Amino acid sequence: MGQVTDLAVSAILLAGLYATMAYGLGLIYGVLRIVNLNHGGMIMAGAYAGWWLHAQFGIDPYLSLIPVSALAFIVGVVIYRLLVRRLPRGAAGGVQSLLLLFGVWLVLRNAAYLLFSGNDQTIRTPYSTRAVSLAGAFLSVNRFAVFAIALLVLLALHLLLTRTYLGKAIRAVAQNPDSCTLVGVPVERIYALTFGLGTALAALAGLLAATLFSFNPDFGATELLKSFVVVVLGGLGSVAGTAVAALILAAVEVFAILALPAYLTAAVGFVLLVLVLVVRPGGLFGQRVLG
């Protein structure tokens, strides 16, 4: 029973990280209908940015979340303005966006190799080795901090999309961009802001992950795949569905340890994805626009 409790607590805390990693990917797809393959690159960039600030200036990684996210937001807006906006809409634009954004990811990855080498890096703080007991389970302070920040991100994203003019504009553009253009909504500006916000969320998630795991320039590939699994499971474009799907994926991966070797647990999530797509192609919640 004690092991089950430990695994349950671990799954809940891990779900917070998975949800945060997936929000940006789901947000960009929900509004722009673009699968942002550079999502993994920005997760890696966020990890390195937080590590560099900590190594060079001693800035706590959690305090650097704001400047790293702000810089990533600007990078996202620039990528949209200079590259993504020039792509054609429709199926042809979708294929081109995949190739273009994958190319941006490769540029970031190779830049990280040149700047930081391929060695694994870690972010160590005075509280990295401290543990907290919850329901009999001893888990690191960092895991609880990441989960708390994930809840704040979920709340902030929900309030942004439901209580602000920008959020209402984002939802309207996601549903019908042509009608929004007719009534004077600056659709291109909304697209740019959404892409910037999704990019910022990716970098934030990367920095959070870096407080828990070691990383190198290849970091972000597995995280992109898990983000994709979470978004598809929850329904493309569904924020609430993304949070629930993150919990499902984390629980499946964590409890798979009881029956499978450790090296096979990562594959369980992808098996779950295939099963859900066969039964419910729209995802568990079947939503295609933000709400």
DSSP string, 66-133: HHHHHHHHHHHHHHHHHTGGGSPSSHHHHHHHHHHHHHHHHHHHHHHHHHH-S--B----TTTT-EEE
pLDDT of residue 2: 62
pLDDT tens across 53-82, in order? 999 999 999 999 999 999 999 999 999 999
278 domain-assigned: no
Q: Which of 79, 146, 134 is nearest to 107 (CA)?
A: 79
274 domain-assigned: no
284 domain-assigned: no
262 domain-assigned: no
pLDDT of residue 150: 96
167 domain-assigned: yes
- Provide the whole-model pTM: 0.92
pLDDT of residue 288: 46
Q: What angle do CA 222, 249, 196 make, to 5 degrees?
A: 55
pLDDT of residue 130: 82
pLDDT of residue 126: 81
66 domain-assigned: yes
DSSP assignment, residue 140? E
227 domain-assigned: no
165 domain-assigned: yes
Helix (H) or strand (E) holding 137: strand 137-140
Q: Average pLDDT per run of 10 along the chain, which is 291 residues long?
A: 76 94 93 93 98 96 97 98 86 78 97 94 86 71 93 94 94 93 95 98 98 96 92 77 91 85 78 80 59 42
Q: Which domain holds residue 96?
A: 2-220
pLDDT of residue 57: 95
Q: Which long-range contacts (CB under 8 A, 24 or more apart) does 115-121 make?
A: 116/48, 116/217, 118/216, 118/217, 118/218, 119/216, 120/214, 120/215, 120/216, 121/47, 121/48, 121/51, 121/210, 121/214, 121/215, 121/216
Q: How many domains does the chain have?
A: 1
pLDDT of residue 289: 38
Task: Find out whether 178 and 248 touch, Cβ atoms under 8 Å.
Answer: no
